[in-house]
Structure 1
Amino acid sequence: MAECLYEGKEHAAAYLKYRVAPHELIAKILGYMEEKTAKPFKLAVDVGCGSGQGTTLLAPYFTQVVGTDISPAQLEMAQANSNPPNVSYRQCPAEELPFAAGEADLVTAMTAAHWFDRQRFLQEADRVLRPGGCLALLSYTLDMELEYGDVSGTLTDICEEFYAALLPFRNPYLGPSSTLIYKDMFDSCLYPDKEWDECFRLRRSLPLNGYIGMVETFSSYQKLQKKDPAEAERLSNNTRNKLLSAMGASSPDTEVVVVVKYFYWLACKP
């Protein structure tokens, strides 16, 4: 794995608490697989699984699901969850998966592949996938929007100020756009049967504090927090107060709709 992040226990706990589980995209992956390859689906490998939110969503559809991650703290959090009996976890780099050639029906990475050595990971995914197996990579842009009554536009403007303040702390390995990373990986995948979707909007109702907590799990915020904890706290509090003022609300537990803009690609190994 090219970049090792999300390794602290506190960060792993926040990741589990605040990150959104992409149920709708699991349905997209399974729909694609059912069109392209024969059942039964035996093994799914969720690479860079973090605290396992996406890993457990695969459990009803596969005989065995294995989440892999390089971070012991994330895996400790994943294993502490109430996991289905067919879900397990392994510590390993994304580029060195502990599976035999042709063993997996699905290899997926949910909001993780941008941290990998991307070409080595694609080669490793190809190695472990069986013919007819599928590769599914997904992530989201950081420009999440908020919806609340008739002030949604104002809230989104405040959110954009939040993101702009974090931009100088973006990891240079990611470059200017995560979407471009995934599009480049898509273009370099030689499987002829593949699909790209640049924007799939996923809506979740969360307390306003849940939205703030989610942004605080981003690597750019974590970098700011490590460099200047007081400034990070000031930025979060200032953003929260601006949002509450625009909403005409007093409690940070007030529910808002968070719009997360996912992008993803799917491919079937010949």
Structure 2
Amino acid sequence: MAHRLFEGKEHAAAYWKYRISPSDHLIQQVLDFLEKQKGRPFDLAVDVGCGSGQGTVLLANHFASVVGTDVSPAQLEEALEHAKRPNITYRQCVAEELPFDDSSVDLVTAMSAFHWFDRPRFLQEAHRVLKPHGCLALLNYSMDMELSCNDGCSHSLNQVCKEFYIALQPYRSAHLGRSSIELYRQTHESIPYPDKEWHDCLWVKKSMPLSSYMGMVESFSSYQALLREDPQKAKRLSEDITQKLLSAMKVTSTETEVVVGVRYFYLLACKPEED
């Protein structure tokens, strides 16, 4: 079965506030692949495991209709608050049972969500709903983000970040295996479509307050697992890491801007014409 996480209202709000979105360049890579394989017009895109909708809204400029699906009512409630375009709708459902007709969807995406699904069942379902020459795009980013600042303290910052990630590693879900990137790479290899692509390094950089970087890491499943197990330990860890980062930057305010570099990896696959 799929793993159900990130469903609380507070966690959903943190998702929208702190989680980064794929860059315009990354979305364009997906669209270029779809146009090459299928051609325009782009009618329907389905963003599965959409969470609070950051990725869903990025597709709205390019499709006649975009539907975000998620198992969590709290996440969808958060997404609806930010759905400003009339061609975006949301549906509550599990990833493995999508409420769409056979061969009706141009693009199926899962942005930082596929690893939580029942992966074989989801891939079968994506195949069912995709049109011939429709495309599947599975995107994710690695947790080992890099921080940089203008005064040459980047090395010190990233040593502290590494300490943070190592402390959270024991709380990583066993469902994810040792490496998310390997999980996605193996999925790419297993998809039996002749037209497919694998990309394992596309850096997205974004400036944000240090507090937002901390909020983003605290929204990860590993930190949330620690928070459930030992709230005081989780709080102490966050406070300790925050103070070490402030010290490395020689500042006192968590609203000081840092540049967060995130490494995306993704696979693209085109459903062939059926016999």
**TM-score, scaled relative to structure 2:** 0.97
Matching of residues 85-100 of structure 1 within 5 Å: 85-100=86-101
Q: Please give the secondary structure, in 2, of the residue aligned with 1:60.
A: coil
Work out the CA distance in 2 between the residues paired with 1:80 and 1:60. 18
Work out the CA distance in 1 between the residues paired with 2:186 and 2:94. 21
2:135 is matched with: 134
Task: State the AA in 1 paired with 2:8.
Answer: G
Matching of residues 189-204 of structure 1 within 5 Å: 189-204=191-206
1:255 is matched with: 257
Could you give the per-residue CA deviations for residues 113-145 of structure 1, whole angstroms, max 9, x where no partner exists?
A: 000011111110000000010100000110001
2:137–2:269 Cα contact (<8 Å) kept: yes
Work out the CA distance in 2 between the residues paired with 1:33 and 1:81. 26
Task: State the AA in 1 paired with 2:205.
Answer: R
Structure 2 residues without counterparts, runs of 5 or longer: none
2:57–2:83 Cα contact (<8 Å) kept: no
Task: State the AA in 1 paired with 2:20.
Answer: V
Q: Percent identity?
A: 59
Work out the CA distance in 1 between the residues paired with 2:229 and 2:64. 45
Structure 1 residues without counterparts, runs of 5 or longer: none
1:22 is matched with: 22
Q: Please give the secondary structure, in 2, of the residue aligned with 1:250.
A: coil
Could you give the per-residue CA deviations for residues 56-79 of structure 1, whole angstroms, max 9, x where no partner exists?
A: 100010000000001111011111
Work out the CA distance in 2 between the residues paired with 1:215 and 1:167. 12
Could you give the per-residue CA deviations for residues 34-66 of structure 1, whole angstroms, max 9, x where no partner exists?
A: 222121110000000000000010001000000
Work out the CA distance in 1 between the residues paired with 2:155 and 2:128. 46
Work out the CA distance in 2 between the residues paired with 1:198 and 1:82. 30
Superposed CA RMSD in Å reads: 0.8
Question: Could you tell me how far 1:193 is from its partner in structure 2?
Answer: 0.5
Question: Could you tell me how far 1:83 is from its partner in structure 2?
Answer: 2.5
1:76 is matched with: 77
Could you give the per-residue CA deviations for residues 228-256 of structure 1, whole angstroms, max 9, x where no partner exists?
A: 11111111111111011011111100000
Task: State the AA in 1 paired with 2:190.
Answer: S
Question: Could you tell me how far 1:261 is from its partner in structure 2?
Answer: 0.7
**TM-score, scaled relative to structure 1:** 0.98
Work out the CA distance in 2 between the residues paired with 1:157 and 1:27. 33
2:228 is matched with: 226
Matching of residues 238-249 of structure 1 within 5 Å: 238-249=240-251
Q: Please give the secondary structure, in 2, of the residue aligned with 1:200.
A: strand
Question: Could you tell me how far 1:82 is from its partner in structure 2?
Answer: 3.8
Moved over 4 A (4+): none
Work out the CA distance in 2 between the residues paired with 1:263 and 1:157. 23
Work out the CA distance in 1 between the residues paired with 2:245 and 2:40. 48
The number of residue pairs the alignment matches comes to 270
